[in-house]
Amino acid sequence: MMKTKLISFICPSRNLNIIRSFLDNIELTVRNPELVECLFKVDEDDPEAKRFMETEVNKRPFSVKYIITSRLNGIYSVWLACNELFTLTSPDSYFVHVISDEVRFETKHWDDILKDYIGHFPDHVFRLRMSTFMLNTYPDSFLCNLTPDSFPIYTRKWIELTLGLGTHSWASDIFNQMIAYHLSLGEQGYKYFNTPYYDKGIFRDVQLKEIKLSGLEFGVGVSHEIMKNRALWITQLWNRNQSHSQQEYFSYLAKRLSSYIWAKANHVENFRIYRSKLNKKVQIINEQGIVLREVAYGLPRIKHYFANAVRRVKVARVLLAGWCDIKTAKYRNGILRLMNVMLDKLYAYKALRFVNLLACLPLPRFMKSYLNQLKELDQQMPVAKYGRIQKNTIFFYLACTGLIGNVIDSINKFIVGPPPGLSDKKSLFGRLFGSRWPRAMIKIPENDRKWALIALNKHKEIFAEMENSVQAKPAVKAKQVIEEVDVINECGTH
């Protein structure tokens, strides 16, 4: 009798030797191979593919399935094959993992660990994050394009509710990261889609740290020309993902997840999740046709159009600046090198001439601190590395912006007012807004106030010393301290 599958691996590949190595790794690291199935997509232009895959099907202790299809457009159309492979997975498989053929398990008996996550949420809707980005947060949808959690493990229910592994994106990790982002915005995501602090969001990403993977690198051994072309594909994908229609589709899929989660939490049985395109809402409808719940998935258009226009202008500006720098760097550096030589012959260089002159004057404390920072900065910018004119230009720019910043910070401190709870004086905003500004509930005696201000200044000195201290290696490791504390506690109990 066939056992229920724990996990189905979906792996598109072109390299038969790497497939063999991948399967060897699974066989060496899994405890119960009968709980695992591996599904591969190989290209039909390889004449050895069918014979190789049939050999692997017969020799492995776990289930191996495969399809042989046209290569189409390679990685950029692989989403179609991934969806085809998903339809071939065992219907009772709890987890589904879209994985690269170069990924390897470093943890022995990882399936024992994975079994502990079955039913982590009672509705079985969640993802297990395992990559180097597992701890990343996403305050903005665009960050989902840049650092999605690569190769997460999905529950089967997650993929069923989100209608496959991505029909609108060739990168399934980005596709699902977008869905998770909109899920985190909660039921009124149309209001909060660019506000990362909405407190009624749903978070179903679980960090899985016990299982270690290797081979997560991207683009290793790929030629410069291919990477250059891939960058264009990625840029096109980002623009597509950030379009209003795509973001609204991601929002729709997220509302399917949240609606299912709501139905299970409220013990609703025999229902369907219906998409009303006319008013852009997701509805829970029971067997009698009664709408039990509905939530909007539509997003504001103008906000998206404006945000995308601003983003494109910024990207274009960066690309243009980079292109100009590459084209003009040779000539610019040659001219500056010649000017530096001529200037050195006419006038000998002396560091911090103007700063040392200012340091002799009776300046306020913040100005002296500012001059000390300039001296520190000067030591970090040797003339031999930057060039005389380049260094002075950078130094002058930083000195001016730093001085302006100090003045603005001083004004800002006046506006914000003293530290909270230590003064009855209102800040500038407090004077302007009057009764709408919080007032001190306790009258602080003058002696207590003086003590508090002395303590505050003392703390500032201590923390300033910490800020500038050398971060040396600790004499005692934290683990050793914990072990010593445990020993002391054990002795105390006897």
Residue 401 confidence (pLDDT) above 60 = yes
Q: What is the mean pLDDT of residues 405-422?
A: 75
Q: What is the mean pLDDT of residues 51-67?
A: 96
Contact 11, 101 (CB under 8 A): yes
Q: Residue 160, Cα to own-chain centre: how many angstroms?
A: 25
Q: Which amino acid is at 23?
A: L
Give residue 176's pLDDT.
94
What span, in angstroms and rounded, lies between the C-alpha atoms of 310 and 314? 6
**By C-alpha distance, which of 91, 73, 18, 90 is closest to 49?**
18
State the sign of the Cα–Cα–Cα–Cα dihedral 257, 260, 262, 264. negative
More confident call, 375 vs 67: 67
Q: What is the mean pLDDT of residues 345-367?
A: 76
Which of 83-92, 133-142, 384-393 tops mean pLDDT?
Answer: 83-92
Contact 74, 45 (CB under 8 A): no
Q: What are residue 7's DSSP bridge partners?
A: 36, 95
**By C-alpha distance, which of 75, 93, 134 is closest to 3?**
93
Q: What is the pTM of this model?
A: 0.77
Query: Would you list the DSSP string of 121-139?
Result: STT---EEE-STTTT---S
Give residue 385's pLDDT.
83
What span, in angstroms and rounded, lies between the C-alpha atoms of 370 and 227? 45
Distances (CA, A) of 456 to 57, 365, 428, 469: 72, 18, 22, 20
Q: Residue 342: CB partners within 8 Å, gap ≥ 6? A: none
Q: What are residue 9's DSSP bridge partners?
A: 38, 97
Residue 153 confidence (pLDDT) above 90 = yes
Give residue 95's pLDDT.
97
Q: Residue 330: CB partners within 8 Å, gap ≥ 6? A: none
Lowest mean per-residue pLDDT among 13-17, 72-76, 190-194, 469-473: 190-194
Give residue 220's pLDDT.
64
Residue whose structure tokens are 């022995």? 108
More confident call, 334 vs 484: 334
Q: What is the mean pLDDT of residues 6-13?
A: 96
43: helix, strand or coil: strand
Give residue 193's pLDDT.
55
Lowest mean per-residue pLDDT among 106-115, 189-198, 372-381: 189-198
- Percent of the chain scoring above 70 in pLDDT: 85
Q: What is the mean pLDDT of residues 157-182?
A: 89
- With both helix axes pointing from N to C terminus, report the angle between 16-29 and 49-59 in degrees, rounded to the nearest 10: 10
Confidence of residue 261 (pLDDT cuts 50, 70, 90): very high
Give CA torsion, residues 141, 104, 130, 209, to 10 deg: -160
8: helix, strand or coil: strand
Strands (E), 331-431: none
Give residue 304's pLDDT.
84
More confident call, 494 vs 392: 392
Residue whose structure tokens are 């993802």? 127
Which domains are delineated in the chain? Answer: 7-222 (3.90.550.10), 432-489 (no CATH)
Give residue 1's pLDDT.
40
pLDDT digits (tens, 9 = 90+) for 188-237: 755 555 555 566 789 999 999 999 999 887 666 677 787 778 788 888 88
Q: What is the mean pLDDT of residues 343-365?
A: 77
Give residue 191's pLDDT.
59
Give residue 435's pLDDT.
54
Q: Residue 430: CB partners within 8 Å, gap ≥ 6? A: 417, 437
pLDDT digits (tens, 9 = 90+) for 73-92: 877 888 888 999 999 999 99
Confidence of residue 27 (pLDDT cuts 50, 70, 90): very high
State how beta strands 7-12 and 95-98 pair: parallel
Q: What is the mean pLDDT of residues 43-55?
A: 93
pLDDT digits (tens, 9 = 90+) for 262-275: 999 999 989 999 99
Q: What is the mean pLDDT of residues 329-354?
A: 83
Average pLDDT of the chain to the nearest whole number: 84
Confidence of residue 244 (pLDDT cuts 50, 70, 90): very high
Which of 245-259, 329-343, 394-408, 423-437 tops mean pLDDT?
Answer: 245-259
Q: What is the mean pLDDT of residues 460-464?
A: 83
Q: What is the mean pLDDT of residues 36-50?
A: 94
Give CA torsion, residues 4, 8, 14, 16, to 10 deg: -40
Sheet hosting strand 281-286, strand order edge to edge: 271-276, 281-286, 291-296
